Amino acid sequence: MAKRIFITGTDTGIGKTWFSQALVQALVSGGQRVAVMKPVASGATKANGMLRNEDALMLQRVANVEAPYEQINPYCFEPAIAPHLAARDAGVSINLQTIADSAEYLAKQSEWLIIEGVGGVMVPLNETQDVVELIARLDCSVILVVGVRLGCINHARLSAKALVDAGINCLGWIGNCIDTGMPKLRENLDTLQGRMTIPALGVLPYASAPDTDKYVAAMTPVIDKILES
Ligand SMILES: Nc1ncnc2c1ncn2[C@@H]1O[C@H](COP(=O)(O)OP(=O)(O)O)[C@@H](O)[C@H]1O
Ligand SMILES: [Mg+2]
């Protein structure tokens, strides 16, 4: 049965997909059997009449356990809006058990199941449940990607608190440098290091793509920590 890791983040657009892609590629090149999920996606285009989301397709491309798109991404909505609103407009209620069933199917065939979340931990999925409840239901360990920019210390600490309060096993946080010109970058990272209540897994540099040498080099110690955990 696969080890399940859920990748969440401080926000949308902060590097969850890049990190997930790099993690999957590293595990695959280490000879592991890796399946992926993007359980809920809003923002999709139609290909042959079927809705397809870029993150889910990217992860499907790098994984080496093949699966039907619908198992990887059971909930896919066209507009790039809050997922519970996209679901409501589509007349759908996101059911955590449906996602858990797909996760079970994928976990049976793989050694690792890497799951990219949507938005951050307190994003609503339906009338009553948020991403944090999905993580608990899937029985995943979590990595929190912190998009390092102004405001991230607050977002990172609140996200970690929500995960810890929900009793979720946190492998740790990653600092992802998305802002080249950020003043006091080092000092912000030091503050995060001092104040975060979950382990630090590493810092990823500003890069042109997640498969550039410097990004991959920064991933190496992170992967070692994940393998040890
Ligand atoms: N380390 C990085 N260096 C430079 N740009 C980055 C980095 N990580 C992410 N980005 C930028 O942020 C965008 C959003 O990243 P992505 O992984 O898709 O975020 P998320 O999955 O959290 O929405 C990327 O398309 C890229 O332009
Ligand atoms: Mg993404």
pLDDT, residue 123, reads 98
CA 11 to ligand 1: nearest atom:
22
The fraction of the chain above a pLDDT of 90, given in percent, is 99
Taking residues 70-95, report their average pLDDT: 98
> Which residues line the pocket of ligand 1, CB cutoff 6 A?
9, 12-18, 176-178, 204, 206-207
Q: What are the two backbone dihedrals, phi and then psi, of residue 222, each rounded to the nearest 5 degrees? A: -65, -45
- Return the residue whose CA atom lies nearest to atom 1 of ligand 1: 206
Tokens of 174: 């990653």
1 pLDDT band, cuts 50/70/90, is: confident
108 alpha carbon to ligand 1 midpoint, in Å? 30
What is the percent of the chain with per-residue pLDDT over 70, rounded to a whole number? Answer: 100
Mean residue pLDDT of the chain comes to: 97
Distance CA 160, CA 138 (A): 18
For 45, the enclosing helix (H) or strand (E) is: strand 45-47
The residues facing 144 across adjacent strands are 8, 173
Nearest Cα to 67, choosing from 91, 101, 25, 29? 101
Category of 196 on φ-ψ map: left (φ > 0), alpha (ψ -120 to 50) or beta: beta
115-133 average pLDDT score: 98
CA of 119 from ligand 2 middle (Å) equals: 8
pLDDT confidence bin for 16, thresholds 50/70/90? very high
149 band by pLDDT with thresholds 50, 70 and 90: very high
Q: Is the pLDDT at 192 greater than 90, yes or no?
A: yes
User: Using CA atoms, how far apart are residues 181 and 10, in angstroms rounded to an integer?
Assistant: 19
- The answer on pLDDT for 82 being more than 90 is yes
The 3-state DSSP class for residue 133 equals: helix
Domain 3-228, CATH: 3.40.50.300
**How far apart are the two ends of the chain, measured CA to CA in Å?**
16
- Summarize the confidence of residues 171-189 as an average pLDDT: 97
Give the per-residue pLDDT at 52. 98
What pLDDT score was predicted for residue 229? 87
pTM score of the predicted model? 0.98
Angle formed at CA 135 by CA 134 and CA 141, multiple of 5 degrees: 165
Which atom belonging to ligand 1 lies closest to the Cα atom of 206? 3
Catalytic positions, written as ranges: 38
Q: 109 exposed, middle or buried (CB, 10 Å; 0-12, 13-18, 19+)?
A: middle
User: Is the distance from CB of 143 to CB of 174 less than 8 angstroms?
Assistant: yes
Q: Name beta bridge partners: 47.
A: 50
- The confidence score (pLDDT) of residue 194 equals 98
Task: Tell the residue nearest (CA) to atom 5 of ligand 1.
Answer: 178
Of the ligands numbered here, which is closest to the C-alpha atom of 176? 1
Q: DSSP character for 78?
A: S
Coil, strand or helix at 7: strand
Rounded Cα gap, residues 22 and 72, in angstroms? 18
Q: Using an 8 Å Cβ cutoff, are 37 and 63 in contact? A: no
Q: How confident is the model at residue 27 (pLDDT cuts 50, 70, 90)?
A: very high
